[in-house]
Amino acid sequence: MFICHAYVVKIAACLKNDMEIKKDNRGHISRVKASLLIALVGLVVGSVVFLATPARQWVTGLFHAGAGVSPANSNAAMFGYDLQHTHFDAGEHLLNTGNVNRLVLDWTLSTSAFIISTPAVTGGVVYVGSNDQSFYALDARTGKTLWFHVAKADIGSSPAVANGIVYVGSSDHKLYSFNARTGKVVWTYMTGNAIWSSPAVANGMVYIGSNDTTLYALDAATGKGLWGHATDNFVSSSPALVNGVVYVGSEDGNLYALDAKEGTMLWTAQAGLAIRVSSPAVVNGVVYIGSRDHTLYALDANTGRVLWSYKAGDIIDSTPAVADGIVYVGSHDHRLYALDAGIGEEYWSYTTGGIVDSSPAVVDGIVYVGSQDHSLYTLSAQAGKKLWSFATGGSIISSPKVANGLVFVGSSDHSLYAFNQMSISPDEQAKG
């Protein structure tokens, strides 16, 4: 059974406050660190219940947003494509079901550690982090390095770009703010533990989770703390923002809905097990999120009431994509699922050769997704038919990014891959 009660809690408290680019060269094989995949699993056997519980000492409203907060563009390049995390780009049409099979490897970036960060692409520049502790800005067409910054620990967080600023977290506990053009550090904000979460930027504020158990809201221009909300475990999930509400999961098993301006908790709902890196997707008043209890949940965005749930064959750490009434999500059972967004009925599933932690991207009738069988797949969004695939040298946890007819994805073989359409000769064009 499922139980959920909406409630509001607000308790003020104080909080301490030269890489190498190669054409068609894949690089050394490296598997994803076991610590990322299995560390702090802490699986507690329990029933699959979404349950609202009385609030403990939530840390909310510790900083108050002032009136002079500078605006930020909500339509930024970020994890999940948009603030809702739909992973759906309705404006991209250069690749389609008729030509995606002509994709070929264009260039690769070879780093010295695996890449699980999902690239952000805007203004002809690709931004991506690597577990070699570096953050890279590259020319999207050529792969040429424009700038890079070395942090003090790995960068598995996926960047967000807004108003000429790039935001990204690191396992050195910091959220970084860079000038997108020059790479100059604008500000940093120190949290109490590693940041695996990816930032969301809107209305002059940047939201980020930390493994110190807290979701933070900061001034996007200055990095000043505005509020923080403490949970009972890591916040590796990435926040989504819709209609003044920020949604995020925690490894304590809860999905949280908070007032985006003040940090006041609106409701919380609890899964049977941890919500690790699966992040909420919010579409048409419904929040979709996966859990390590093998379940994808659909909840009312206003109340947290469970509308439906779907049981996969294993853990769901993938973030769902939602497009044209269909929800797509991967699972540790090696499958990508396509479900009816309204009722949770399965339309189709596609079986890969490995765990699917990668979050799917949907563009012009095609689903792009990576697998730990080392391959990037493109599938028909309607039928699940494989259209094209490419084998890298390592597991793919990074989520694909499609921009201007190019496809980008990171791999645990230490490389960022860029694919483009194979050129067609005039003779081939004449043949139709």
Q: In this predicted model, what pLDDT tens digit does every residue of 288-312 receive, in sequence order? A: 999 999 999 999 999 999 999 999 9
Output 93 or 59, whichever has higher pLDDT: 93
Q: What is the DSSP string of 197-217?
A: S--EEETTEEEEE-TTSEEEE
Query: Quick check: 319 pLDDT over 70?
Result: yes
- The contacts of residue 105 (CB under 8 Å, 6+ apart) are 24, 390, 417, 418, 419
Reported as type and span, the H/E element at residue 323 is strand 321-323
Output 263 or 7, whichever has higher pLDDT: 263
Q: What is the structure's pLDDT at 217? A: 98
Going by pLDDT thresholds of 50, 70 and 90, the confidence category of residue 28 is very low
Report d(CA 393, CA 101) in Å as an integer. 20
Q: In this predicted model, what pLDDT tens digit does every residue of 386-427 receive, in sequence order? A: 999 999 999 999 999 999 999 999 999 999 999 999 876 555
Query: Quick check: 36 pLDDT over 70?
Result: no
Going by pLDDT thresholds of 50, 70 and 90, the confidence category of residue 51 is very low
Q: What is the structure's pLDDT at 424? A: 60
Evaluate whether 116 touches 109 at the Cβ level (below 8 Å).
Answer: no
- The contacts of residue 341 (CB under 8 Å, 6+ apart) are 283, 284, 286, 288, 298, 322, 325, 326, 327
Q: What is the structure's pLDDT at 41? A: 34
Average pLDDT over residues 336-361: 98
Query: Quick check: 70 pLDDT over 80?
Result: no
Average pLDDT over residues 133-159: 98
Query: Quick check: 38 pLDDT over 70?
Result: no
Q: What is the structure's pLDDT at 422? A: 87
- The contacts of residue 243 (CB under 8 Å, 6+ apart) are 301
Q: Which two tokens stand for residue 2?
A: 């499922």
Q: In this predicted model, what pLDDT tens digit does every residue of 150-205 receive, in sequence order? A: 999 999 999 999 999 999 999 999 999 999 999 999 999 999 999 999 999 999 99
| Dihedral in degrees, nearest 10, Cα atoms 148, 27, 413, 415 | 30
First CA to last CA across the chain, in angstroms? Answer: 57
What is the percentage of the chain residues whose pLDDT exceeds 90?
A: 80
Task: Identify the structural domains of the chain with CATH numbers, from first to last.
Answer: 20-39+50-67+75-423 (2.130.10.10)
pTM of the model: 0.85
Question: What does pLDDT average to over the chain?
Answer: 85
Average pLDDT over residues 352-379: 98
Reported as type and span, the H/E element at residue 288 is strand 286-290
Report d(CA 114, CA 351) in Å as an integer. 24
Evaluate whether 79 touches 169 at the Cβ level (below 8 Å).
Answer: no
Query: Quick check: 94 pLDDT over 50?
Result: yes
Q: Which two tokens stand for residue 33?
A: 């660190």
Evaluate whether 4 touches 50 at the Cβ level (below 8 Å).
Answer: yes
Query: Quick check: 75 pLDDT over 50?
Result: no
Q: What is the structure's pLDDT at 307? A: 98
Going by pLDDT thresholds of 50, 70 and 90, the confidence category of residue 431 is low
Going by pLDDT thresholds of 50, 70 and 90, the confidence category of residue 428 is low
Q: What is the DSSP string of 228-287?
A: EEE-SS---SPPEEETTEEEEE-TTSEEEEEETTT--EEEEEE-SS---S---EEETTEE
Going by pLDDT thresholds of 50, 70 and 90, the confidence category of residue 373 is very high
Q: What is the structure's pLDDT at 76? A: 52
Evaluate whether 301 touches 278 at the Cβ level (below 8 Å).
Answer: no
- The contacts of residue 240 (CB under 8 Å, 6+ apart) are 80, 83, 84, 85, 200, 246, 247, 248, 279, 280, 281, 282, 287
| Dihedral in degrees, nearest 10, Cα atoms 270, 272, 276, 279 | -50
Evaluate whether 195 touches 159 at the Cβ level (below 8 Å).
Answer: no
Q: What is the DSSP string of 397-423?
A: -SPPEEETTEEEEE-TTSEEEEEEEPP
